[in-house]
Structure formats: structure tokens, C-alpha cells
Amino acid sequence: MAFLELDTHTLHYRIDGEHGPWLMFCNSLGTDLHMWDEQVAALAGHFRILRYDRRGHGESSAPPAPYALADLGADALALMDAFHIERTAFCGLSIGGLVAQWLAINAPQRLSHVVVCASAARIGSEESWRTRALAVAAHGLAPLRAATAERWFGDAFRRDAATRVGQILDSFEATSVAGYLGCCAALGAADLHAQLGQIHVPLLAIAGDDDAVCPPSDLQHIAERTGGALEVLPGRHLVNVESAAGFSAALQRFLL
């Protein structure tokens, strides 16, 4: 495994592909870099792919909570700097989509394209994330497994792809509580509505048609405010897993 040592934490990362432009992936809350396995398998022949575990997720360490969205954006920039990546396409899902928007606003010169998936300019409310954080601090993540499965995947996919779903839910339960709480704080404070008009990087928004967390209207709003495109695929919140082939094809069309 490969790690980038930063002042307060380490980031676990992986690079796949040897040729083509850079493409970075940023995972959702409570997942690790393996949520992008299907995309890497489909796209590594066309891109040099850098994916990583967000602080407090997967094999990355967890600095003390709380975190801010700017902290998560700075982690992505630190990885770009470490590998001398001047410009990259950046694809993020859910909180990763907020990181993608933050980068497009604050470091647009580092991005060739931005893909915002199953996300919003604001996800939930400060109160809802505070309530979630209190529950996780008291009881851990295991009690949330069943509800998370229903939010992330449709009924048929949970039945037909039980092994893949189980792998992702296992990574959810294994997420550091400190890392999860830190990201809840970032989500509670993040609201980019007023800054969407500052995004001029070519943008694709991808929604799951049955996603109750970040419905297609949230992604349509981002696309309209940024002059970007919208693609709606079958699935719930982890639409890149549930509609893996369609998602990878949409990325390839947009980026190439």
C-alpha cells in the first residue's frame, strides 16, 4: 500500500493506468477507494487514475475532528502536488462531489474537467448532520448499516449483487468513527449555493434516478448554474456502482 505523509495524517492512495490524462476519484462518506473499482477496470486503459481514501476512511489515518470542506480540498491538492499533477479531471461522489465543487471554485487552474455525482451544493442540514454525528459517537456505525444499504442501493441491486454490496457495507462499518464525525462536521457547514456561478471548469453532473439523498433536481441545479451537462442513470446514491457500465461510459464520453 502507498501513503502520503502529511503534517496531521496520512493519505492512502493508489495509481492505476500508465498512459493518458490524469483522472482523480474522491469517494463518498463511509466508503474507501474501492468504491471506484468498476470505473478503474473500465478506464485505466485511457487515463492515469489516482484514487485515495479520504482522511479518516479506509487505510488513511484520522486527524482529530472536526474537518472543514477546505481541509478535504487541501488533501486533494496535496496529492496533486506530490505527483506533480498540474491539471487533472476530478470526479467526486456525495461529499466527494462537494470536494469537486470546492476545487472548481478555489483551484480551477488545477482542473481540466469536473464530474459531480450524487451530490448537491448543500447536502442535508447542519441539524441533520449534528444528529447523525451524535448517534454515531454514541453507538458507532454498525446500527446504520441496514438504512445505509437502502439509501445507497435499489432493492434489486441489493439482491442481485449481494457480494459487492456486502463489501461496500463492510468498508462503511470499518470507517473510523473519528473520521466519520469529522466529515459530518464538514457536511454540516458546507453550502456552496452562492459560489456555483464561479465554476467555469467544464462540468458533468451525474444523478441516480432513485437517489433520495441527492435527487436529480440537486444535480440539475448544479448543471444549470455552471453551464454544465446532466446525465441521469438508474440507481440510488452509489450510482457509480449500481450503474457501473453506464457511469463509466458517461465519464469516457465527457472526458475524451
**Residues 3-28 pLDDT 10s:** 999 999 999 999 999 999 999 999 99
> Residue written as cell 441491486?
157
| Tens digit of each residue's pLDDT (9 = 90 or more) over 80-102 | 999 999 999 999 999 999 999 99
Give the number of C-alpha atoms closer than 13 A to the C-alpha of residue 9, restricted to the C-beta side. 25
How many whole angstroms separate alpha carbon 141 and alpha carbon 71?
A: 23
Mean pLDDT, the chain, rounded, equals 98
Bridge partners (DSSP) listed for residue 9: none
| Tens digit of each residue's pLDDT (9 = 90 or more) over 186-243 | 999 999 999 999 999 999 999 999 999 999 999 999 999 999 999 999 999 999 999 9
- Degrees, nearest 5: CA angle 88-204-151: 105
Helices (H), 83-206: 95-106, 126-139, 145-152, 155-160, 162-174, 177-189
Q: Which pLDDT score is estimated for 133?
A: 98
Could you tell me the pLDDT band of residue 178, with boundaries at 50, 70 and 90? Answer: very high
User: Closest by alpha carbon to 222, among 126, 125, 120?
Assistant: 120
